[in-house]
Structure 1
Amino acid sequence: MEFFPYTEGYKDACLALFDANCPQYFAENERADYAQFLDPVPDGYRVGVINDAVTAAYGMRVDEMTARARIVWIMVAPSSAGSGVGTEMMNNAKSFAVEASAPVIDIAASHLSAPFFAKHGAVVLSETQDAW
């Protein structure tokens, strides 16, 4: 898999990736928020491409005040689950954080995605029962 900076040309593929992850990982009403997020071509958003198909997408933001990174809008094609795509994406995100001198990556995860992040070293700091 190769990672590329997000450009407008990837918008439809990213929205299709979102749709493939809905409703299991995202609520349908979040699609408009995601589309709005993509419109200004967000800094730090990347797409993972295999054989010309967008298979993964995620964004990284760094808070200069706290030197903490944050993963935003992370998703993998369900057809790629278990293939190592997620691990490649997390390794790419960790490299980004190291290059940005951000020793911590914050993640907001659901109960469904938390086990994936735990495999990559995430630690639960807080939890909300019966909610996202």
Structure 2
Amino acid sequence: MSSPAPITDIRLRPWEPRDRALGLALFDSNTPRYFAEVEKADFLGFVDDLPGPYFVLESADGEALGCGGYAGGGQDSSIAALCWGMVRGDLHRQGLGDRLLTERLARIAADPIFRSVEIETTQHSCGFFARYGFVETARTLDGFAPGMDRVDMTLSLEDYRKRGG
């Protein structure tokens, strides 16, 4: 069985309040494999009060393929946090997650205030982030929900830039 052709004609655009329903559909398409149902309220609260840039990854014809963003300015303003990144469940393994992540990392790396990037992810996605140089700093069994471990990871932007990012 051959893999589907990668979707290449895509763009990242800023999230708008009208995108709430498409964000919910993207979230649902990744439940329960990557998100627990109990996290839905947190996701909706996040998109209703964005703490930083958030984006929609879409095809040339405007079809939503994914979404994700980042925030800064927490306790340590030199740390950016990746927030709620996801690709539509039926489109995994087509390079869209790579595109969404690299776009966000490029924007973060372009801001001289940031020195590192953090993410809280699960055991199902931590390998994806490790490919980009993220290093696991902590793991909490069932940290998001039963069967959904919380894996804290960090990426030094200095190391990222050295790798060509």
Under a length normalisation based on structure 1, what TM-score does the superposition of the two structures give?
A: 0.91
The aligned amino acid for 1:128 is T
RCO higher in structure (CA 8 A, sep ≥6): 1
Q: CA RMSD, aligned part only? A: 1.6
Under a length normalisation based on structure 2, what TM-score does the superposition of the two structures give?
A: 0.74
Could you tell me how far 1:94 is from its partner in structure 2? 1.1
The aligned amino acid for 1:26 is F
Higher strand share: 2
Higher helix share: 1
Aligned residues: 132
**1:119 matched to 2:131:** yes
2:141 — aligned with what?
Answer: 129
CA change 1:49–1:56 in 2 (3 A) is same
Separation (CA, whole Å) in 2 of partners of 1:40 and 1:54: 20
Separation (CA, whole Å) in 2 of partners of 1:7 and 1:71: 18
Could you tell me how far 1:103 is from its partner in structure 2? 2.6
Percent identity between the two aligned chains = 27
Separation (CA, whole Å) in 2 of partners of 1:129 and 1:72: 20
**Which structure would you say has the larger Rg?**
2
Conserved 8 A contact 1:44-1:60: yes
Report the secondary structure of 2:38's partner residue.
helix
Conserved 8 A contact 2:29-2:90: no
1:80 — aligned with what?
Answer: 91
Q: What does residue range 1-132 of structure 1 map to in structure 2 within 5 Å?
A: 1-50=10-59, 51-63=61-73, 65-101=76-112, 102-131=114-143, 132=149
1:74-125 CA distance string (max 9 Å, x none): 1111222111101111111111111222131101111001011111211111
